Structure 1
Amino acid sequence: MKRQIVFLTTLSFALIIYLVYDVHSKRIIIENYKNQNEELQNLNAEQSYVLENITILSKLQHFAEGHNLENYTLYTTDGDSCELKDVCKGEKLIYYFSEQGCQVCYQPFLKKLVELSKKIGKEHIVVIGKFEERRSFKLFLQDLTSNNDLTIYQTKTEFNIYPEYNEYALAFQVTKDLAINNICITDKSNTELSADYLKLIEKKFNNSTSSQVE
């Protein structure tokens, strides 16, 4: 009788342990499934955002092609003033960004421009930052890496190319009449397109240099 009681007690205890383990295992499986489902939803949402944003950027780039810029007043790092038309003489790549824009969108591109300047010549690249106050402009310059040797100007006026969305950072070239061409909006959602754009610009400048030599 005692042996039967011990056996039943042991069996009951083992069954309880199994049930607790089974419930715990199923709970872990369910939680893992929920986490995977949430990750998948987040990934889908992120991909949807990227696609929607790239669509918007493509439309904005098409809209800006041929847009005539005003002859804005610019300021050098020393505080001297000049005009946009003066700094755009010759073949130049212009990079415009706003202090109110997305830093993770324009900071990486600035680093790529430094590398590009070593290949095509820093005299062919002009960076223009929209800063309302000179103090903010100086702080921005201080935060740049020491190996940055780009020509950087300050503008206190937005380049009102679009009715809205004027905080996007833009890389482009201009004609003698300050008409925009070959524009690329640099954004964290289109880094690959921005990299391809710089390759095309590099090729364009190298071909231009080769033609002049010949």
Structure 2
Amino acid sequence: MGSPQDGREAIVRAATRLFSALGYDGTSMAQIADAAGLDQAEIHAHFDGKRELYIEVMLRAHHLLAGVIRRRAEALLNAAPERRAEALHEFLDGYLDLCVAHPEVPALWTHRWLSDASDISDLEAKSAQPLTQYVVDSVSTLAEPVGSDPLHTTYTMIWCIHGFVLSGVLNGTGQRQGIEDPQQLRRFRTHMHQFMSRGLSLPE
């Protein structure tokens, strides 16, 4: 038999898959129990209910984001003028690589953008807003000198990366290609470097 910790991890993994695929509102505790291979009583031994479980999933997503964003944004904020383009590309690469490795992270937040779990209203203030503001403050060192809006520059990066990771692009035959296709991923990475550098009047 597995340990209680193993059971808790199985529950969180199953909930993460379902919340990222179906959203909080579209996922039931019965579905989570079935996906985890447990009964609902075992889930309630670890979590009081779906709300608590969702908060745990979102907390883990936050920690993944924070681990990348804080380090890369700080490097961007403190970059010497001659290194700002390189620091911007490193920030883009770090955020993109995180989302490629953990597509559940952008999926979870995209559901929230569409008003999923709207009764759990404080996650943005406690989680997303502080991280986003940290990036905005870093981007402002590049945006303000050239008259760009640091807030919308930041969100443009986030929207583009989330959109590509979650949906890819149509390849001309009606099929979607995205993060599973190395060539498309390379093309998108190069495009983001060029797009953001040109918008901020930085070397490519």
Question: What TM-score comes out, normalization by structure 1 length?
Answer: 0.23
Which structure has the highest helix share of the two?
2
Which structure has the highest strand share of the two?
1
Question: What TM-score comes out, normalization by structure 2 length?
Answer: 0.24
